[in-house]
Structure 1
């Protein structure tokens, strides 16, 4: 069995990926790989931040590794918060403060289209590959639902009347930007001759 290090300590993400990745690969967290560092995200693009995270962990472990970076891009705010999504209202990564700031900046603007975008960076056998998943939708004027995390209470994906925070995980996965990128990652891995 091949081990793939996921540059995260979010066990929920790891469990979700392990449930769909197949029997020949085991995904482990940074903690399970014996790594306890906070990886910087200094760049102005999701692609560069994803590469930074996977590269740092690859240099430490010399194992196959992947990372992901996700941002919410609001058209009326010229793509904000984008790469700053987690720290939009400050370094403490306060979800509620981020939502409040976004809704305040957007005000009653009639143009509310937005998208979640995930970029996955995989370093496999020493070479980097990237995969992207996008979910189009729009920003509500009030918060709806109590599930999920981040901007889920104010984002309604195209094709639904419910916010991500009103959905079960199975419902959210029908639209999920992260799942779209991870599916591409899995399809790539399944094509590798060593598996």
Structure 2
């Protein structure tokens, strides 16, 4: 364990994201531990180029940039959907497949068009990276396996949730309540690993 850990009550943590929904999610998750969360967006930090070829690499780029800019510990998340029939794509390019207009309906059609036959195995990955101003980092990965539904179902969730059916379920993520999804999701699993190591 890093000499910086666990984070102390009253710590201030930068969430290296401009996504208000993600900020609200992490603020709620961290509230019981007395950790105050402020977002990169609130601090007007620029978004760094995600040039790495792995989820961990991109999470580290975002976390290190925020920690360096603010002098505070920073937490970043990089996540995406990987489809076996597409050789693991869209993977780290999951958001980019939806384009600047966030057209996830189009991205989901592209996935369906790329699946040939019955190979519908898929998985979601989330990597959380915690970076400190002195350059120290800790990364935590969560993964959930499942299959791609033949067509989108459900109105909850976001992104690729309407086509992902987690293992042991018949419903897509988008057909579940937030509480149900958050109990089993890739991000929840990554956060649990982070919690055990970083929050004491």
Q: TM-score, normalised by structure 1?
A: 0.90
Distance in 2 separating the partners of 1:89 and 1:142:
17
- Structure 1, unmatched stretches of 5+, are none
Q: TM-score, normalised by structure 2?
A: 0.88
Q: Is residue 114 from structure 1 mapped to residue 119 from structure 2 by the alignment?
A: no
Distance in 1 separating the partners of 2:33 and 2:88:
39
CA contact (8 A) 2:82 2:90 kept: yes
Q: Is residue 30 from structure 1 mapped to residue 40 from structure 2 by the alignment?
A: yes
Higher relative contact order (CA 8 A, sep 6+): 2
Q: Deviations over 1:7-41 (max 9, x none)?
A: 11223222222223224211111133x22423221
Distance in 1 separating the partners of 2:45 and 2:65:
12
CA contact (8 A) 1:135 1:157 kept: yes
- Structure 2, unmatched stretches of 5+, are 1-9
Count of residues paired in the alignment: 189
Distance in 1 separating the partners of 2:144 and 2:46:
30
Superposed counterparts of 1:98-177, under 5 Å: 98-107=107-116, 109-124=117-132, 126=134, 127-177=136-186
Call closer, same or farther: CA 1:189–1:124 in 2, change over 3 Å.
Answer: farther
DSSP 3-state at the match of 2:53: coil
Give the Å deviation of 1:187.
1.9
